[in-house]
Amino acid sequence: MEFLSNLISGLSLGAIYALIALGYTMVYGIAKMLNFAHGDVIMIGAFTVLATVATAGFPWYIGIIASVIVCTVLGVTIEKIAYKPLRKANPLSVLITAIGVSYFLQSVALLIFGSGKQSFPTVIKANPIKLGSLIIQGNSVVTLIITTIIMVVLTLFINKTRLGKAMRAVSEDKDAAELMGISVNRTISLTFAIGSALAAVAGIFYGSTYGFVDPYAGAMPGIKAFVAAVFGGIGSIPGAMLGGILLGIIENLSKAYISTDLADAIVFGVLIVVLIVKPTGLLGKKIREKV
């Protein structure tokens, strides 16, 4: 029973990583860049909830809506201001810019909210579920249900809709996509919008799980979600989902049965092993080309 309970909280943590990893992997797939400021968007999202619900006293759902809007606008703006001018630049310049944006967002949060940990308001009100001796946190259940819905909707969007297909076309061949009448710039904006909206949701779950937020709160989940995306095969959407969930489970079970201190080392160790055995990640695509 204890194992099952650890497994479920691992699953819920993994679902959060998966939401963040989706942002990394979609942006990588479309814009071919690693957006290392993605983790900090989560932190801004969490602070938005804190400011609207705890400080301004709005109801919880207003906090969630505000957070999604702020993150979406933020993500699109970051892309327009910081990354778009570098579309044809050396990938290293883009990477360094992304790290710069990450520190910029942390500094802004530091100026507005101060450096201390602030307790995250309760936005998810769900009672624990008891099944015999098994107790599942209400938080975990809500996280799992919402994340599952988001993943199903996102998968349908990417595979079935006209815009989703256009996104795949851009990710495969930008020039050919433009010749079809697809605007690459608009598609990249859309990708940043979706990724950042998912980050807002992840920020709410992360804040609710750990109960606090500070200006550096996005850094660690950001890095882990990046690992999850690489683990699953960067650029692959099912890969990000699988990678995130596996990472959460491995981390939680390591904490429960091996060592709390070593949990992160084990997580990164597993990544190294996977990349040695399968360099493209679990579901990474092999590049297939016919000339």
Partner 1 sequence: MMLEANHLNVYYGNIHALKDVSFSVGEGEIVALIGANGAGKSTTLKTISGMLRSQTGSISFLGEDISKTESFRMVNKGLAHVPEGRRIFQQMPVMENLEMGAYTSKGDITEGIKEVFRHFPRLEERKKQIAGTLSGGEQQMLAIGRAMMSKPKLLMLDEPSMGLAPILVEEIFEIIRLFHEAGTTILLVEQNAGKALAIANRAYVLESGRIALTGTGAELMQSEAIKKAYLGG
Q: Residues in the site for partner 1, rule: CB under 8 A?
A: 162, 165-166, 168-169, 172-173, 175-184, 285, 288-291
Q: Do the Cβ atoms of 190 and 33 come closer than 8 Å?
A: no
Rounded to a whole number of angstroms, the minimum distance from the CB of residue 30 to partner 1 is 14
| Residue among 132 and 181 whose Cβ is closer to partner 1 | 181
| Residue among 50 and 182 whose Cβ is closer to partner 1 | 182
| Residue among 99 and 180 whose Cβ is closer to partner 1 | 180
| Residue among 235 and 243 whose Cβ is closer to partner 1 | 235
**CA-wise closest residue to 229 among 220, 218, 237, 217:** 237
| Residue among 148 and 161 whose Cβ is closer to partner 1 | 161
Rounded to a whole number of angstroms, the minimum distance from the CB of residue 159 to partner 1 is 9
Q: Measured between alpha carbons, how far is 207 from 35 in angstroms, rounded to an integer?
A: 21
Rounded to a whole number of angstroms, the minimum distance from the CB of residue 281 to partner 1 is 16
Rounded to a whole number of angstroms, the minimum distance from the CB of residue 277 to partner 1 is 24
Place of tokens 């959460």: 248
Q: Do the Cβ atoms of 69 and 204 come closer than 8 Å?
A: no
Distances (CA, A) of 197 to 92, 175, 217, 270: 26, 27, 17, 29
285 Cβ contact partners less than 8 Å away, ≥ 6 residues apart: 233, 235, 236
Rounded to a whole number of angstroms, the minimum distance from the CB of residue 279 to partner 1 is 19
**How long is the chain?**
291
Q: Measured between alpha carbons, how far is 94 from 85 in angstroms, rounded to an integer?
A: 10
